A and B are shown apart, each in its own frame.
Chain A
Amino acid sequence: MLSVVRTAPPTELDAATLRRAAAGDDAACRTLVELYQARVFALVSRMLARRGRATVEDAAQETFLQVFRQLAKFDPKGSARLSTWILTIAARRAIDELRRQRPMLVAEPEQIELDRRGDERAIRRELAQAIEGALRDLSPELRAAFLLREYHDLDYGEIASSLGIELGTVKSRLARARAALRQRLAEVHRE
């Protein structure tokens, strides 16, 4: 059996630090980056799978730079959590990158390492490839929608508004994406 640990619900930046970050305070900005960087990397690296760490790092960095440029406009009392807002920026940044139609480049060493550590790792690798393969055919927006839903626990409404897609479209297309994913996973389990 695979040993899987679901991540705990993500924490959010406290209001005081958020205010200081919006005012440009270095320490607060650092705290913000350190708190959200793993989530941004998780989203961006899956969005930009096989495009190499440099591309992912750049997209993540540009995400945070945009966050800092617009942070003063973020309303902490609004409906969106800061994490949702940041992930939305990250998703849009990754979508832009995908639309540039750059060729796929490399697999990352971290992923390569997984290949050589026994059967369980091999199964995980196959699963990972199946998931990535299922998402590869989706449009950038729907890929983002799937990742935001399944990996970052955003609800349909948040996804629809953040990506500018109709709520019904999000639901129906995600259902199709899940069906494709199920098919791929079933193939892995059959082998």
Chain B
Amino acid sequence: MSDDQELTTDERRSLDAWTPLTPSPGFADRVLAARQQPARRRRWPLVAGVATCLAAAAIAIVLVRSPSQPSAGSLTATTRTTADLGARGKAVAEAHAELRWHIGRDGAASIDQTAGDVFYRVDPGGPFVVHTPAGDVRVTGTCFRIEVPTMNKKHILLSGTVGAAIAAAVIVTVYEGHVIADTKTGRTELVAGARATIGPDGKTVVDNANPATAAAMSGAIVDPNASREQLIARATQQQLEIGQLKSHIAALEKSGHTATGGGARAGGEPDDGNPWYDPTPETLKRWADECRIRVDEPDLSSFTAIPEGAGNARNGVKIKPEEVGPYNAAMIEVRDQWVKLVRALYIEATGDSAGVDTLSIEAMRREIEQKSSEADGVLMQQLARERAGLAPVPTDASNMSPVERMMRAYMSLGDKAEAALAKRLGPERAREIRTPQGWSSRTEMAGCPVK
């Protein structure tokens, strides 16, 4: 090594080992869209976060947290899986769908859907663009579905991944609102009821089989000279499609997929009078039948310490300047315990001791879940029964799988955070900060074993 000030050629070569991040697809689109957006007040509170399927077709999760956090994620669905796209809505991905998303602080949503069938429900709040192999789909407040045919894996490998993916057509179905199919051949506006195919060459062909339906659903005036028979046929068709849409939305809402915002409560279950995290015994018994549980925690994975000396709001509660130090200490204590446990369980489940230095906590959690050999819904059923007092709580954790120990620890995070805070600020203040709505990250899971 040289003692000269400047780096030697070899040293400069070493610098290249530190690979930087590269812009994700659609970055320029997001910048340009944000450039045209006026500064926007963020709604508070709103629904955001990430909902994932815990390796079970019958399990649905609703996670509610502060909306002002940017969020990003990726998903390769092995079964129907719901993802919360930050504050911008939800995506219900069918098995084999693949998508990545990034929601910026300004609310701009950029989704890369490379394969599969995904239903989107979009909340207002800035640009929302889905990038597909055949073109982009831009949205303003709507429900729509995109189907990207999945190619045979072997075929993709033989013919080149990108080429094979682009060779597939993409189908867009619009349920509400408007979307724009933006491809290399031009832009096509699609209204509610429309179904369009975007070919590999970028050409967008709108299915005009039901133009009256499309026009009527988008509020347009249809042919005033239509005959009675035509009007009856049109009305019948509309009723049929509206019925299908209602069924679809009802099915989603039944699965706990409804976004809630602005109300005191969040999640798939109504208020039963008790705090969100501590339902009544009757509710818990009913949930035992549904294999349903709730978890609230102070969003420890993305916990940011409040700057010393400055009061701030957390969980919707004003933290006084003198409480900032104790608050931070309590959260850091619980977070560190949680991180330590997840790391240990990750190594136990995967044997990958190097990964703990590089993977995020969320990534390790997903890995642990994926390594789980528990049958779908069995753990959820057991935990729900324990909470309802219908099954004994085991005292020996030595025979439990990593995923079970992780789930049990996860379920206790809210109480642990409150206890850590109570040690420092007293139980009343700790309970006050937790609020009856629970900590900022609220998750509801439901799903019984598939018989």
**Which A residues have a C-beta under 8 Å from some C-beta of B?**
2, 4-6, 26, 29-30, 33-34, 37-38, 41-43, 45-46, 52-58, 60-61, 64-65, 68, 101-103, 105-112, 114-115, 123-125, 127-128, 131-132, 150-151, 171, 174-175, 178, 181-182, 185-186
Contact = CB atoms under 8 A, between A and B. Distances in A.
A46 B302 CA distance: 20
A60 B358 contact: no
B44 interface: no
A30 B28 contact: yes
Interface string B11-39: 11111111111111001101110110000
A2 B35 contact: no
A62 to B, nearest CB: 8
Nearest to A125: B17
Interface string B349-385: 0000011011111110000000000000000000000
B28 A37 contact: yes
Given A58-B104, A106-B363, A185-B14, A101 B23 contact: no
A54 B32 contact: no
B70 interface: yes
Given A37-B27, A57-B24, A181 B11 contact: yes
B7, B19, B302: most-surrounded residue (chain A CB, <10 A): B19
Given A127-B18, A182-B11, A65 B31 contact: yes
Contacts of A101: 305, 307
For the complex of A and B, the 4 pairs showing the least CB-CB separation, nearest first, are A106-B360, A127-B17, A45-B21, A124-B17
A135 B117 CA distance: 45
B359 A106 contact: yes
B42 to A, nearest CB: 14
A6 B16 CA distance: 8
Size bracket, chain B contacts? 35 or more
Contact of B18 (A6, A46, A58): A46
Contacts of A56: 21
A187 to B, nearest CB: 11
B304 interface: yes
Contacts of A115: 354-355, 358
B231 interface: no
Contacts, number: 138
Contacts of A30: 28, 32
A131 B74 CA distance: 29
Contacts of A105: 302, 360
B12 A61 contact: no
B86 to A, nearest CB: 10
A45 B11 CA distance: 21
Contacts of A109: 74, 363
Given A41-B20, A45-B20, A131-B18, A26 B32 contact: yes
B405 interface: no
Contacts of A106: 359-363
B358 A107 contact: yes
Interface in B101-157: 102, 104-106
Q: Interface on chain B toward A: helix, strand, loop, or mixed SS?
A: loop
Contact of B72 (A42, A54, A103, A175): A54
Contact of B24 (A53, A55, A150): A53
Contact of A33 (B5, B27, B305): B27
Contact of B31 (A42, A52, A64): A64
Given A53-B21, A115-B354, 14 more contacts: A33-B27, A42-B20, A53-B102, A61-B31, A101-B305, A106-B360, A109-B363, A112-B355, A114-B19, A115-B355, A175-B5, A181-B11, A182-B2, A182-B11
Query: Chain A CB within 10 Å — which of B12, B27, B70, B102 has the most?
Result: B27
Given A38-B23, A110-B21, A33 B31 contact: yes
Tell me which of B1, B34, B304 has the highest count of chain A C-beta atoms within 10 A of its own C-beta: B1
19 contacts: A33-B28, A33-B31, A34-B28, A53-B102, A57-B23, A57-B27, A57-B102, A57-B104, A60-B27, A65-B35, A105-B302, A106-B359, A107-B358, A115-B358, A123-B17, A125-B17, A127-B17, A131-B17, A181-B7
A178 B358 contact: no
Contacts of B27: 33, 37, 57, 60-61
B303 to A, nearest CB: 7
B173 interface: no
A105 to B, nearest CB: 7
A134 to B, nearest CB: 10
A53 B72 contact: yes
B71 interface: yes
A107 B354 CA distance: 12
Contacts of B34: 61, 65
Q: Which of B1, B20, B35, B72 has the most CB of A within 10 A?
A: B20
A150 B18 CA distance: 12
